[in-house]
């Protein structure tokens, strides 16, 4: 069973974190949303406090999504609004495809629907090997300088805390997440089938997933609103927590 936070009462909202992070990135939104909703924020397999997937199970977005569905079963939540950040967005899309009846609304935060280009995929395999030899800090140190927009400097507290969170990840969990991302399905053809109220949120200064991908996803979804957060990079929930909470409020008004 995944480790998780379950806070508040009311219609359910699930928050899925990105790579190689944990549910802690959503702390501000958990505080805010739990005043009106039941907020469930798990640590994805092998990250944060959650156990990795067993060796017998190939790491995929679907395997992670199934763990989230098992958690919802355990918590007796039939249907939830699901929001995913970056890799958490890939898991959210896999979950929505696997069990559309359980998803009341979908929010993709600094995420994308497409799969990796061949070079990017190859780079993930190389990094996965290095992580097993040298530790999770290799992935953390590679990602950190590209995570934030120009307002967050290397010396700032949020930068250092996020770096420490990523460096503390278990190498096996980081490797599994990299392999799962490298092999993820292209979900672009699936987007047109998603009709529940959706939010596509992007940081205007995201150096990891370009803004055009968010614009393209929103245009391909039947019922999506697009919110761009000025000045924010790939971590708007930390860089502009109020703007992100406000956008999630707006989306959840449409969902429930
Ligand atoms: C993430 O933030 O979850 C990852 O950087 C996404 C990715 O590498 O595709």
Give the number of other CB atoms < 10 A from CB of residue 136.
21
CB 131 within 8 A of CB 174: yes
64 lines ligand 1 (CB under 6 A): no
Distance 85 CA to ligand 1 centre (A): 8
Question: What pLDDT does residue 227 have?
Answer: 98
CA 200 to chain centre: 12
Whose tokens are 């010396």? That residue is 155
- Number of residues in the chain: 256
User: What is the band of 79 on the pLDDT scale with cuts at 50, 70, 90?
Assistant: very high
Q: Per residue in 178-230, pLDDT tens?
A: 999 999 999 999 999 999 999 999 999 999 999 999 999 999 999 999 999 99
Beta-strand runs (E) in the chain: 4-7, 12-16, 38-42, 80-85, 103-109, 198-203, 224-229
Distance 91 CA to ligand 1 centre (A): 11
Question: What pLDDT does residue 244 have?
Answer: 98
Question: What pLDDT does residue 73 have?
Answer: 98
Question: What pLDDT does residue 222 have?
Answer: 95
Atom 5 of ligand 1: nearest residue by CA position: 19
Q: Per residue in 4-62, pLDDT tens?
A: 999 999 999 999 999 999 999 999 999 999 999 999 999 999 999 999 999 899 999 99
Angle at 225 between CA 152 and CA 213, to 5 degrees: 60
148 phi, psi to nearest 5 deg: -110, 160
Average pLDDT, stretch 231-243? Answer: 98
Question: What pLDDT does residue 59 have?
Answer: 97
Torsion of CA 133, 171, 54, 48, to 10 degrees: 180
Return the DSSP state at 169.
S
Question: What pLDDT does residue 219 have?
Answer: 98
Distance 167 CA to ligand 1 centre (A): 15
Q: Per residue in 83-110, pLDDT tens?
A: 999 999 999 999 999 999 999 999 999 9
Whose tokens are 């993820």? That residue is 184
């Amino acid at each position: 069973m995944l480790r998780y936070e379950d806070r508040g009462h009311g219609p359910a909202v699930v928050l899925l974190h990105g790579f190689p992070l944990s549910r802690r990135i959503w702390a501000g939104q958990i505080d805010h949303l739990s005043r009106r909703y039941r907020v469930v924020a798990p640590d994805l397999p092998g990250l944060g406090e959650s156990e990795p997937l067993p060796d017998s199970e190939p790491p995929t977005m679907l395997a992670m999504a199934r763990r989230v569905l098992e958690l919802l079963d355990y918590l007796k939540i039939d249907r939830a609004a699901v929001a995913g950040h970056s890799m958490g967005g890939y898991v959210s899309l896999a979950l929505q495809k696997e069990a559309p009846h359980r998803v009341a609304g979908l929010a993709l935060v600094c995420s994308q629907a497409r799969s990796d280009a061949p070079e990017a995929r190859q780079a993930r395999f190389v990094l996965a090997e290095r992580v097993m030899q040298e530790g999770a800090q290799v992935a953390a140190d590679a990602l950190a300088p590209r995570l934030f927009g120009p307002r967050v400097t290397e010396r700032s507290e949020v930068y250092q805390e996020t770096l420490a969170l990523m460096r503390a990840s278990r190498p096996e969990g980081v490797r599994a997440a990299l392999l799962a991302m490298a092999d993820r399905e292209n979900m672009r053809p699936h987007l047109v089938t998603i009709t529940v109220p959706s939010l596509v949120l992007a940081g205007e200064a995201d150096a990891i997933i370009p803004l055009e991908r968010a614009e393209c996803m929103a245009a391909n979804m039947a019922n999506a609103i697009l919110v761009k957060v000025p000045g924010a990079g790939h971590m708007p929930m930390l860089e502009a927590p109020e703007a992100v909470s406000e956008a999630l409020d707006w989306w959840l008004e449409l969902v429930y």
